[in-house]
Amino acid sequence: MSATISQSQPAGTAPDANPAVSPAETDLSARVLLLLFLSAALWLVGGSVLGLISSLNFHKPTLFADCAAFSYGRSHPAAINALLYGFAAPAGLGVLLWLAAHLGQAKLTGIPLVILGWLLWNVGVTLGVVGIFLGDNTGHEWLEFPRYASAFLFAGYLPIGLAGLLTFKNRQPGPLQMAQWFILAAFFWFPWIFTTASLLLVIWPVRGVMQSVVGWWYMNNFGNVWLVLMGLAVGFAFAPKFAKAPLYSRDMGLFTFWSLILFGSWAGIPAAAPVPSWIPAVSTLGAFLMVAAILATFLNLTKTLRQADRHAVRTIPELFIPFGVLAFTVASLMAVVSQPIAVSVVTNFTWFIPAQQEMLVYGFFTMTMIGAIYYIVPRLAPVAGTDLLLGKASFLLCAIGVLFYVVPLAVGGIIQGSSMNDATVPFLNVVKGSLMAIRGSTLGELLMILGNAIFLLNLILMLFRFFKTSTTVFLAGANKTVGVGA
Amino acid sequence: MNQGPLVFLGTFFALATAWFGFILQPELQIGSQQPFLIEDSGQLYPTKPAGLAKQGEDVYRANGCFYCHTMQVRPQGLGGDVARNWGARSGPVQSVSRDYLYAEPAMLGSQRVGPDLTNIGLRQTNEVWLLQHLYNPQSLAAGSTMPPYRYLFAKRKTTPGQAPSKDALPPDNNLPGYEIVPTDDAKALVAYLLSLRSDGILYEAPTLYVKPATAPAATTTNASPAANSPAK
C-alpha cells in the first residue's frame, strides 16, 4: 500500500510525525481486532438463525402461537438488530481500524479503548436483543433497542471511535488515499446519526409523524450512507491491492465520496409519506443525484480490478469483495429506482423493501466485510492460514443464498404491490400470492446460515491453530512481546 | 497537503445539511401541530388515547404488530388504499401528519403483510370478533398467514355445569372442557384497535365529496354549508 505514499517525505515535516511502521508491526499491534471479528461472526450466525425462526412464522403460522419471544413481531426485529449492531457495526469498525492503521503505516493506537468499547458494545447488543424478546422494542425500525441498551452502544462506540481517530492521526504525512476519506467520514457519521435518532426518538421523543421522519432519516443514514462508507472504504482499499495496480480514477472516487455524503444522506423518505410533500420530493432528488456516483463507483472499482492478472488463482477475499461491489451497485440502484412516486406506489409496503435492504446489508456489506476479515485474520494470527475449501464453500453458500433471498422477494414484492393496488383483488389473495416468494427466500436464508456458520467455523479453526502453535500472549500485551511469524 | 481537516469539515458540513434539512426544518414545520377543533361538534381531533387503549398501544408496539400492518392511508390515485375502503373521514381521504399527533410511538409501518389498520376501529367495531381473530385468525379468515396470538389468552379448565367466565371467548368445539379467556394485554390491544379511527375532518385533508344519503337533510339545517371546513 505504500505505492501512493511518498517514501521520500522527511520524517520531520509534521511536528508529531511518527516513524513509518512495517505492515507486520501494524498487524502485531492490531491483534485485539480478533475480538471484534469473532463476536461479529457469532452475532452473524445468531442473527441469521433468528431470522430463520421469524420466517418460519410464515410457513406455519401456529408454530410459535404460544411463545411470545419467537413470534414474528419479536424474533424479526431481534434478528435485524443482531445483524446490524451485533455483526455489521463491530465487523465494519474492526476492518476500518485495521485499514486506518495500515494505510497510515501506523500501529493501532488505543488497544485498551478498543477492548473497553468492544465489551460495552456487546453488552449493549445482548441487552437490546433480550429487551426486544421481552417486549421492550422502541417501535422504531433499525433502532428497536430499548434505551438501556442504546446507552451501552453509545458508551461502547466512543472509545472505539476515539481509537480510530488516534490511529488515523498517527498516519504518515501526505495526501490521503481514497479509502482514508471514507474511513474518516465513517468514524464521524455513526455517532452523529445515532445520537440524533436516540435523543429524538427514545429519550425525548418528538411528536407524532416527526418520529417517522427521524426514523427514515436514521435508517437511510445508517444503511445507505454509514454502511456504504465502511463497505466502500474496503472496496477502495482492496481493489488496488488485488489488482496490484493503482486505483483506476481518484477523481471518480472523490466524486463518489462527495455525492454520497452530500446527497445520499437525503434519500430514504417514502414518496407517499404523510408529511409535507417537499420532504419526500427533496429526498427523491437526493436519491437521483446519487445515480452518477453509483455508476462511477462500479466503473471505478471494476476497472481497477480488471487490471489484475487474469490467470492468477483467486483468493477467498477476491471472491467476496468483488461480489460486494456488484451487490452495492444493484442494491443502491434498487433504492434509487423505488424512490420516485411512480415506482414507490407499487414497491412501498411490499416485500421489495426487505429485498433491497438484504441486498445492501448482506449482499454488499456483509459479503464485503467477510472478505476483508478473511484477508485480515491470517495476518493478525500469522500461523493460522485460511482453509481454502471452507472459504470457497462459505462464499458460494452466502452468494447463492443472498440471491435466493433477494430475487424472489423483489419480484414477489412487485407482484404483491400491483395486486394490492388493484382493489378488486381481495386482500387475502394478495397475502396468499406472496407466499411463493417467501418460501423461496427461506431457502436463501438457509443457505446464508450455512455460509455464515462455515465462516464462523473457519474463523474458529484459524484462531485455534494460532493459539495451539503460539505461546504468545495475544491481547493487550501483544505489542510488548516478541511476535510470532514477524 | 494534509487533507484530514478537509474530510472532517466536509463530513461535518454534509451531516449538518442533512440534519437541518430533514430533522430541524420538518420539526419547525410540523413539530408543534395542535389538535383541530371541529366547530360544529366542539370536539378536538385527534383525541388523546386514554385508559385501556393507551395500554394497548404498548402491547401493539411490544409485539411488533407494525412489522406487518401499516397505519397510513395513501391519497386517492396512489395505490388502492382508498378503493379498499381503508380511508375514513366520511370520504376517500388520505392520512395526514396531524393524524399521528398523539401516537406514542408513531408506528406507520413499512410493510403490508396484513391490511392497513389506520381505521380498523371504523371497519370492525365488534370487540369479540377482534379477540377471536387474535386468538385464531384462521377461524375467521381462512388462509390468513397471521400467526395466532394464543399467548395473549389464558386457557382455563372448566368443570361441567360451571358458568363460563364473563369475558371468555365463544366456546370452541375443538377444546371441550376448556375456556379461552383474554388476558389484560389482549383486552388492551383490542381497545387500542377499536380506538384507531381517523375520522376527524381536517383542513389539510378535506372531504372530497359528501356521500349522498349519509344523513337526512333535516338534521343539517342548523349547520352552515361550510360547517365541515375549518373556519379559522
What residue ranges define each of the domains in chain B, with the CATH number in brackets? 36-206 (1.10.760.10)
What are the pLDDT digits (tens) for A145-195? 999 999 999 999 999 999 999 999 999 988 899 999 999 999 999 999 999
Residue B218 — pLDDT band, cuts 50, 70, 90?
very low
User: Are the CB atoms for A68 and A203 separated by under 8 Å?
Assistant: no
Supply A309's cell numbers: 492478472
C-beta atoms surrounding A378 within 10 Å: 18
User: Are the CB atoms for A257 and A182 separated by under 8 Å?
Assistant: yes
DSSP B93: B
Supply A108's cell numbers: 493501532
Q: Which of B7, B26, B100 sits opposite A184 (nearest CB)?
A: B7
Inter-chain CB proximity B61 and A137 less than 8 Å: yes
| CA separation for the pair A56, A59 (Å, rounded) | 5
Cα distances from A460 to residues A37, A158, A339, A386, A425, in angstroms, run: 10, 28, 42, 11, 52
Q: In sequence order, which ranges of A290-426 are alpha helices (DSSP H)? A: 291-306, 317-337, 341-347, 352-358, 367-380, 388-421
pLDDT at residue number A10: 44
- pLDDT higher than 90, residue B163: no
- Measured between CA atoms, the residue of chain B closest to residue A69 is B63
Q: Is A135 on the interface with B (CB under 8 A)?
A: yes
Q: Is A173 on the interface with B (CB under 8 A)?
A: yes
Supply A169's cell numbers: 492521526
Q: Is A176 on the interface with B (CB under 8 A)?
A: yes
CB contacts, 8 Å: B65 with chain A = 73
Inter-chain CB proximity B148 and A266 less than 8 Å: no
What are the pLDDT digits (tens) for A407-450? 999 999 999 999 999 999 999 999 999 999 999 999 999 999 99
Cα distances from A120 to residues A114, A156, A323, A355, B205, in angstroms, run: 10, 5, 32, 32, 48
- pLDDT higher than 50, residue A476: no
* Nearest-CA distance A229 → chain B (Å): 11
Mean pLDDT of A123-149: 97
Inter-chain CB proximity A206 and B27 less than 8 Å: yes
What are the pLDDT digits (tens) for B46-88? 888 889 999 999 999 999 999 999 999 998 888 888 888 887 6
Least confident of A247-251, A394-398, A476-480, B129-133: A476-480
- Measured between CA atoms, the residue of chain A closest to residue B104 is A208
What are the pLDDT digits (tens) for A286-330? 999 999 999 999 999 999 999 988 888 889 999 999 999 999 999
| CA separation for the pair A324, A319 (Å, rounded) | 9
| CA separation for the pair A416, A437 (Å, rounded) | 10
Q: Is A460 on the interface with B (CB under 8 A)?
A: no
- pLDDT higher than 80, residue B217: no
Cα distances from B62 to residues B52, B99, B116, in angstroms, run: 15, 22, 18
* Nearest-CA distance A389 → chain B (Å): 39
CB neighbour list of residue B9: distance below 8 Å, 6 or more residues apart: none
What residue ranges define each of the domains in chain A, with the CATH number in brackets? 19-174 (1.20.120)
| Chain A residues 329-348 with a CB less than 8 Å from chain B | 341, 345-346, 348
CB contacts, 8 Å: A196 with chain B = 19, 23
User: Are the CB atoms for A336 and A291 separated by under 8 Å?
Assistant: yes
Supply A400's cell numbers: 447463492
